[in-house]
Amino acid sequence: MNTDTNPAIGNRPRLEHIDGLRALAAIYVVVHHMLLYVNDGLPGGAVRHVSDLFLFGHYAVDVFIVISGFCLMLPVIRNSGEIAGGMFRFFRKRARRILPPYFSVVVLSLLLIWLFIGTPTGSQWNSSLPVTRSSILSHLLLVQDIFSGTSHRINYCLWSISVEWRIYFLFPFMVFCWNRYGPLKTVIAANLISFLLLIPLEYTYFDTSAGGVCLHYYGLFAFGMLAAGFAHSNDPRLLRLRERLPWAVLFVVMAGLALISNKGYIHDVRLPWQIQDLFVGLATLCLLVGVTPGRTSDPWGWVRRALGWGPLDFVGTFSYSLYLIHAPLLEIIWVYFLRPLHWTPLASLLLFSTAGLLTVIGCAYLFFLLCERPFMGPARRRPGGPIPAPVLAQ
């Protein structure tokens, strides 16, 4: 499969490197949640430095939001700026793509809580308990992220699905603004408005934590749309910026700012997590543009080939399922297999992140075959089919 063809000017190849990037983000999240089980007992030195690299689980959500905007905007760009089939067809396709696996994992999580993991153990899974009527109802309506009492219940990862679900409803309006006012103005406005709305939201009963409403994700989603415009649009303004901007330098700068603002390396100042997310979103934008084959040069070709590596590409195809199902599986592995061994935290983490990770990936693939793949488009179910617009993984 030739991934070097520009979809904006001819063929429409499947972008394996996008699936690979999604796979890396999903695996990172799984390892991050594994680490939370044993992190307090890990030794210092090199082990601590390595484990600290996996403490940015929320950043992976940022990456997926940007990727989602990128992939949803691609077919719009290919269709001369219009949503193919109209707004209602778009909503219908999104519902078919995201809801069956989501509701399946809600039922599965409830069943596993009832049978195996309904007792608090002091782990991250505690935030999923107890199950209440309000938590069940909020998950059925996809509004669990709005209130702190329901955002992490049943399965502590599912808050992000409802966040992205609402973004879909604003996407047609964002496309309208893109066509009417231009890509740059649309993206700037999306970020300004979403950040400004965060201020009054702090004075409501809404959950404004990192696992809550996350209004600023609309701006990050717009970054993904802009990345698609830079990478695949024939808009002369975007093409000029694409060829002139130093994307590799910008990526390093934005990623560095995200790290610095989180760790407080400068005068021990830590910026709000929403600002950190902004830097991560911009870094992801730069990465997505950079790995797209250039019209004059291709300095990022090795990155694209690495991301398109077969196993990563494969895991990326079911990263949504991996995200949905990994949290209850981790709790089962911990409670029934790892904790009874009474190993040291480091030994437990090594077994968790090897055999445990492979087990979770294998179970996620089975879940994908049963609950996700049947609802994907026929083209996507064929090997080498076009890339779908992804749904979130954290």
User: Global pTM?
Assistant: 0.92
Residue 307 lies in a domain: yes
Indicate whether 169 belongs to any domain.
yes
Q: How far apart are CA 166 and CA 164, in angstroms?
A: 5
Q: What is the pLDDT of residue 301?
A: 86
Residue 73 CB: number of other CB atoms within 10 A? 28
Q: Do the domain assignments include residue 259?
A: yes
Judged against a pLDDT cut of 60, whether residue 7 lies above it is answered with no
DSSP state of 372: I
DSSP state of 303: H
**Terminal-residue alpha carbon distance, the chain:** 29
- Over residues 89-131, the pLDDT tens digits come to 999 999 999 999 999 999 999 999 999 999 999 999 999 999 9
Quote the CA–CA distance of 277 and 271 in Å, as a whole number: 10
In the DSSP assignment, the letter for residue 292 is S
Residue 379 has pLDDT above 60, yes or no: no
Other Cβ atoms within 10 Å of 241 Cβ, number: 17
The chain-wide mean pLDDT, for the chain, equals 90
Over the range 293-308, which residues count as b (16 or more CB within 10 Å of their CB) and which as e?
A: ebeeeeebeebbeebb
pLDDT value for 264 = 61
Q: What percent of the chain has pLDDT over 70?
A: 89
Question: How many other C-beta atoms are found inside a 10 Å radius of the C-beta of residue 201?
Answer: 15
Domain enclosing residue 252, as ranges: 16-381
* Residue (of 299, 236, 244, 227) closest to 15 by Cα position: 227
317 phi, psi to nearest 5 deg: -70, -25
CA-to-CA distance for 4 and 293, rounded, in angstroms? 6
Place of tokens 């000029």: 240
The answer as to whether 390 is a domain residue is no
> What is the spatial distance between Cα 154 and Cα 370, in angstroms, rounded to a whole number?
21
Q: How far apart (Å, rounded) are the C-alpha atoms in residues 64 and 151?
A: 19
Residue 100, both tokens: 């069956």
When mean pLDDT is compared over 196-200, 262-266, 286-290, 379-383, the highest value belongs to 286-290
Answer whether residue 133 is part of any domain.
yes
pLDDT at 389 over 50: no
C-alpha to C-alpha distance for 69 and 222, rounded to whole angstroms: 6
Is residue 2 in some structural domain? no
235-239, 373-377, 388-392: segment of lowest average pLDDT: 388-392
Q: Is the dihedral of CA 193, 199, 204, 205 positive or negative?
A: positive
- In tens, the pLDDT along 19-29 reads 999 999 999 99
Give the angle 222-32-380 at the CA atoms, nearest 5°. Answer: 50
Q: How far apart are CA 67 and CA 70, in angstroms?
A: 5
Within a domain: 3: no
Contacts of 154 (CB under 8 A, 6+ apart): 106, 109, 110, 113, 128, 131, 135, 136, 139, 144
Alpha helices, H only, 264-351: 273-290, 301-307, 310-317, 319-333, 345-351
What does the pLDDT read at residue 297?
63
Number of domains in the chain: 1
CB 111 within 8 Å of CB 154? no
Q: Please report whether residue 6 resides in a domain.
A: no
Please give the C-alpha separations between residue 218 and each of 66, 76, 191, 285, in angstroms, as whole numbers.
Answer: 9, 18, 7, 14
Cis previous bond, 130, omega within 30: yes
Residue 331 has pLDDT above 60, yes or no: yes
